[in-house]
Structure formats: C-alpha cells, structure tokens
Amino acid sequence: MKIVDHISNAKGKPLFSFELLPPIKGQSIKGIFDAIDPLMEFNPPFIDVTYLREDYIYKQHANGLLEKIAYRKRPSTVATCAAIMNKYNVDAVPHLICGGFTKDETENALIDLQFLGIDNVLVLRGDARKSDNSFIPTPDGHAYASELLQHVVDMNNGRYLHDYMEDAAKTDFCIGVAGYPEKHYESPNLDTDFKYLKHKVDTGADFIVTQMFFDNKKYKALVDKCRANGINVPIIPGLKPITSSKQLVSLPKIFHLDIPMELSEAIQACKSEKDVKEVGIEWMIHQCQELKEMGAPVLHFYTMGNPEPTKKIVQAVF
C-alpha cells in the first residue's frame, strides 16, 4: 500500500516506522531480521531500506599512485526489501539514489521494484563516495534527486526512456523525497534549499522524510514554511536518539545538524555510557510526545541496525 494511503487510513493517529541499512558484505539476511523482530509488535506499516553506494578499495603503489582494485559490495537493497515483504507482510520502501546508476540502470531497477509489488520509493541524490570530495554524477545518470524523481513520475505516466508503453505498463509508485529542517550542507542558506525542496514536490513527490533533528522547533519551522508555500504533502520526521557520547561529535559532523545545548550539556554531565543512552532516549521520548501533539503523521526512526533504543522510545510514546 502507498505510504500516503497508510497515513490517510490512520485518520490523524501517528504511525510508527523505521529505517534499516542493507547488511554488509558476507552477512546473511538473519542480521536484518534480528534488527526488525523486536520492533514488529508496534505494527510498523512500512520499513525503509537505505541504498549504500559501493566504495572503491585502493592499493597504494610505491610511487604513491592509487590503483582501484575492487569495490565494496553490499547485498542489494531490492533483495533486502523483497525478503522483508515476504517474511513480515509489511511494505518495504527502498531508497533509490542517483549516484552509481545510469538512467537505463535506474529504469531497470524501477521495473524490478514494480514487478516485486513495491509501492513506494524514496528518491535521493546520494552522498559523495568516501573516496571523492564531492558528489560526482554518474555519466548518463541523474545529477539531482529532482531529476530521478522526474524519471519515476514519467514512468508512472507510461513514459519510459526509450519507448512509450501501453497503459497497462505504467508504474504506480508513491514517491518520497528528503527534506532538511536545518538545510542540506551544500546549500548556501535555508531559503535556497527550500526552493529545491519545493521543486521536488512540484515535480511530483508525494511525501517528505526529514533528516534527523533534535529540536522540534526546526521541524515545525519547516512544516510551517511548507504549508505557507503550498506544499501540502505529509512531512515525516526522521528521528534518532543519541546512544553514545561520541555521537555529540559524529552526528553534527556526518549529518550537518545542531545538537541543542541543553542536550549536549546533559550528555557531557553523564558518568557512564549507560547514562548517556538513558539521557538520549529520554530526550527522544519528549521529542516524540511533542511531535505527536504537533500532528506529525509518522514517527520514523533511523535504527542503524540497533532496535533496542527505538523499542524503549516507542513503548513509552505509543
């Protein structure tokens, strides 16, 4: 079922959902099931599976030159989604990125997703490879999420890259895009980033999922700005509790976000990592309670393969 239909069927009651990473090379699907099982009692209507781009492995020669010798592979997002749908009978939402795909490969991936009965996709540009300084579009691929989105919209209207299909061959994806309450790190300011978010919705995005944030005022400001500018699609807050003191540095560095002083000081005052986890969970419980009151349609958790903190929060909030 489409995410927008899950939301409208819930009639204002917030839903719970979460995101997983596909397993690393050599692991089996069991690791994924172990990360899902503890959360199934809360009836998530959908589970997202991220797409992690391959990264090259280099060998350094005596003259200093680097040679690409292999690339790091993960089991595919599509295969992980198929396994989840098969075992749990919930909607799996694959993330689809621009990086690493030509337009033809993108189209073939979407044909496979349609064939598997996947109704939703989250379309993203993707980040730069670790080995590159900035995002480099794949030759004959898409450079921005809005281009990839347009491609999916075209397929939904029966317009494929090289041919126009009969009505029966139209895809029917409900399409999500990313939004950034604290702006995307490459954007010079919030307004420019917002302009491109609006462009994605005007192109046909059905819902927005936000980057994680720790201050609900930032989510509210984004929702208010969207509503004032004619963006009426659901805006799903992305949430992650702080679970270790190291994350005070790593989360702002990786995700380009602010951690409120009250939270950072509470974490710095902790005497053990166990206490840090408790503070992080308590903060997120409070954030979730407020988001429910604010009418957030779904509370969507970035579990990163660790379901336990999310489980404690959801137990307290739902």
Which residues are known catalytic residues? 19
> What is the distance between the alpha carbons of residues 123 and 100, in angstroms, rounded to a whole number?
14
| Bridge-based pairing state of the strands 238-239 and 46-49 | unpaired
**Half-sphere CA count of 278, side-chain side, radius 13 A:** 7
> What is the distance between the alpha carbons of residues 32 and 176, in angstroms, rounded to a whole number?
23
Binding region for ligand FAD (CB under 6 A) out of 10-18, 25-33, 141-149, 242-250: 141-149
- Residue 74 vs 125, nearer CB to ligand FAD: 125
Q: Where in 142-181 is the site for ligand FAD (CB under 6 A)?
A: 144-146, 178
- Residue 52 vs 111, nearer CB to ligand FAD: 52
Residues 6+ away with beta carbon under 8 Å from 86: none
Name the H helices within the chain. Answer: 3-9, 30-36, 77-88, 103-116, 145-156, 190-203, 216-228, 247-255, 261-268, 273-293, 307-317
Is residue 184 near ligand FAD by the rule CB under 6 A? Answer: yes
- Residue 127 vs 282, nearer CB to ligand FAD: 127
Cβ contact 208:233 at 8 Å: yes
Is residue 76 near ligand FAD by the rule CB under 6 A? Answer: no
Contacting ligand FAD (CB under 6 A), which of 6, 74, 125, 240? 125
CB of 83 vs ligand FAD, minimal distance in Å = 17
- Residue 46 vs 276, nearer CB to ligand FAD: 46
If you ran DSSP here, which 8-state letter would residue 176 be given?
A: E
Is residue 56 near ligand FAD by the rule CB under 6 A? Answer: no
Residues near ligand FAD, by CB under 6 A:
50-51, 53, 95, 97, 124-127, 144-146, 178, 184, 186-187, 193, 196, 209, 211, 238
